[in-house]
Structure 1
Amino acid sequence: MSEQMNGVETQGNTSCFSEQNFNRLLVIMKDKNYAEGSHLFWEGDVSDKLFYIKRGRVKMTKSTDEGKELILYMYGRGDLIGQADPFFSSKHSFTAEVIEDCEVGIVENKDLEILICQHCDFAIDFMKWMGIHHRLTQTKFRDLMMYGKPGALCSTLIRLSNTYGEQHGDTILINKKITHTDLSNMIGATRESVNRMLSDLRKKDALEYENGMIVIKDLVMLQDICHCELCPNEICRI
């Protein structure tokens, strides 16, 4: 797919759509701007639309009964997000919070149903997008459940490097400021335990900090700790 279609730069999880099918999506989108701190939707809202992020960033969270927040996904430009359930009435399982001012294209489910029914090639591309989303969810839960908190943290650092990383010689700079609280919310751990694990990784010379941002110095060590299966980047992302 070309890097730009109808003036919209494409990347993220929509690379599975052909140029023709992506343009079909663009035609039915209705643009809307969201300010930082606002929400695209809340957990429990009716899931009747998808959201294509043209600019900005969004985090998808799940809240526990005790009020603790778990960050499940972080989305940016080029990502299509929402609960992919066009033929059934359902409710959102997560909350989508805007963490950078966003320009979003909104796709109504009723318009999406028409595209799926009219164009079999679009339906195939849409199934590919759903498949990527399901694999991303499966691998994240595998990381959280199978290899303990150190494995989950290392996996999260690898995903961050694939999403925001910049290669500088033998090191990778994660070009977004990620706080220890953010990391703890991503893996369901306490901030104190994340501090200890990061300190251990620094002592082992696996990472360091540069202007408040994480620099990965030994990617192989992180991969060994989390038993990395070398998933493609569209799956191994935050």
Structure 2
Amino acid sequence: MTQFATATPPRGNTSCFTEQNFNRLLVTMKDKTYPEGTHLFWEGDFSDKLFFVKRGRIKLTKSTDEGKELILYMYGRGDMVGQADPFFSSKHSFTAEVIEDSEIGIIEQKDLEIMICQHCDFAIDFMKWMGIHHRLTQTKFRDLMMYGKPGALCSTLIRLSNTYGEKQGDNILINKKITHTDLSNMIGATRESVNRMLSDLRKKDALEYVNGMILIKDLVMLQDICHCELCPNEICRI
């Protein structure tokens, strides 16, 4: 077992795995470091690996023919990344870009298939992980499509607060600097329209900026705008 596996491991979107099954994943991984600006995989690459983020951050994107980028997911420490299709040969539908220097544990598909075949309890946990990912995708598309750009923006701010938020009294500080371009790429809007919507929310005293980071002051207002269904945090995340 690696030194990392003997320490207290991070548990992001892998919290559905029992400690025993999580350690099985850790033992199987081969560690590799990726500098900022590199890629774990590109859209169209064969999907034959999963990637576990031990340190750093990854964004999963989809690009249009015109070059516009849509940010679908942001992964951090403790998250498992990749297109999970054990026993099938498939290609990645998205691109995974490293946005902070990262240490990644790589799980080969053949090793994953062996664990699924040998340990039925691992197979159940893996199905739970896949189910959480499907629900996350479904709720994101619901938010992007049903309540317009203001609803999509408010939903994204709530997801960011659940992922990076720090309580400050009655407020929540999103403890990552998120640019207006990032937000526009997360909801498929122009940067100018995001600027206008954020300005409106600031005028309504729903949020403000502190040292370049977003401070949410009225979470209920954001929830009302996006018709929040109060999904659990493992689903309501960026």
Which of the five TM-score ranges fits, normalised by the shorter chain? Answer: over 0.9
Counterpart amino acid of 1:198?
Answer: L
Q: Do the aligned partners of 2:61 and 2:94 also contact (CA within 8 Å) in 1? A: yes
Structure 2 Cα separation of the partners of residues 93 and 44 of structure 1: 6
Structure 1 Cα separation of the partners of residues 152 and 189 of structure 2: 10
Q: Do the aligned partners of 1:5 and 1:19 also contact (CA within 8 Å) in 2? A: no
- Specify the alignment match of 1:174 in structure 2: 174
Percent of matched pairs sharing the same residue: 87
- Specify the alignment match of 2:99 in structure 1: 99
Structure 1 Cα separation of the partners of residues 6 and 25 of structure 2: 11
Structure 2 Cα separation of the partners of residues 124 and 76 of structure 1: 24
Deviation at 1:105, TM superposition (A): 0.4
- Specify the alignment match of 1:82 in structure 2: 82
Q: Do the aligned partners of 1:8 and 1:54 also contact (CA within 8 Å) in 2? A: no
- Specify the alignment match of 2:202 in structure 1: 202
Counterpart amino acid of 1:212?
Answer: G
Q: Describe the superposition over 1:36-80 as per-residue Cα deviations: whole angstroms up to 9, x where unpaired.
A: 000000000000000000000000000001100000000000001
Structure 1 ranges of 4+ moved more than 3 A: none
1:12 is aligned to 2:12: yes
Q: Describe the superposition over 1:121-159 as per-residue Cα deviations: whole angstroms up to 9, x where unpaired.
A: 000000000000000000000000000000000000000
Deviation at 1:9, TM superposition (A): 2.2
Q: Describe the superposition over 1:67-121 as per-residue Cα deviations: whole angstroms up to 9, x where unpaired.
A: 0000000000000110010110000000000000100000000000000000000
- Specify the alignment match of 1:40 in structure 2: 40
Counterpart amino acid of 2:124?
Answer: I
Counterpart amino acid of 1:219?
Answer: L
Counterpart amino acid of 2:76?
Answer: G
Q: How do residues 11-30 of structure 1 correspond to structure 2 at under 5 angstroms?
A: 11-30=11-30
Q: How do residues 148-163 of structure 1 correspond to structure 2 at under 5 angstroms?
A: 148-163=148-163
Q: Describe the superposition over 1:175-204 as per-residue Cα deviations: whole angstroms up to 9, x where unpaired.
A: 000000000000000000000000000000
Q: Do the aligned partners of 1:14 and 1:129 also contact (CA within 8 Å) in 2? A: yes
- Specify the alignment match of 1:60 in structure 2: 60
- Specify the alignment match of 1:108 in structure 2: 108
Q: Describe the superposition over 1:203-236 as per-residue Cα deviations: whole angstroms up to 9, x where unpaired.
A: 0000000000000000000000000000000000
Aligned length: 235
Deviation at 1:7, TM superposition (A): 1.7
Counterpart amino acid of 1:190?
Answer: T
Q: Do the aligned partners of 2:5 and 2:26 also contact (CA within 8 Å) in 1? A: no
1:190 is aligned to 2:190: yes
Structure 2 Cα separation of the partners of residues 8 and 97 of structure 1: 26
Structure 1 Cα separation of the partners of residues 153 and 75 of structure 2: 19
TM-score (norm 2): 0.98
Counterpart amino acid of 1:88?
Answer: F
Q: Do the aligned partners of 2:5 and 2:27 also contact (CA within 8 Å) in 1? A: no
Counterpart amino acid of 2:159?
Answer: R
Q: Do the aligned partners of 1:53 and 1:103 also contact (CA within 8 Å) in 2? A: yes
Structure 1 Cα separation of the partners of residues 162 and 13 of structure 2: 13
TM-score (norm 1): 0.98
Deviation at 1:5, TM superposition (A): 4.9
Deviation at 1:10, TM superposition (A): 1.7
Listed as ranges, the gaps of 5+ residues in structure 1 are none
Q: Do the aligned partners of 1:153 and 1:187 also contact (CA within 8 Å) in 2? A: yes
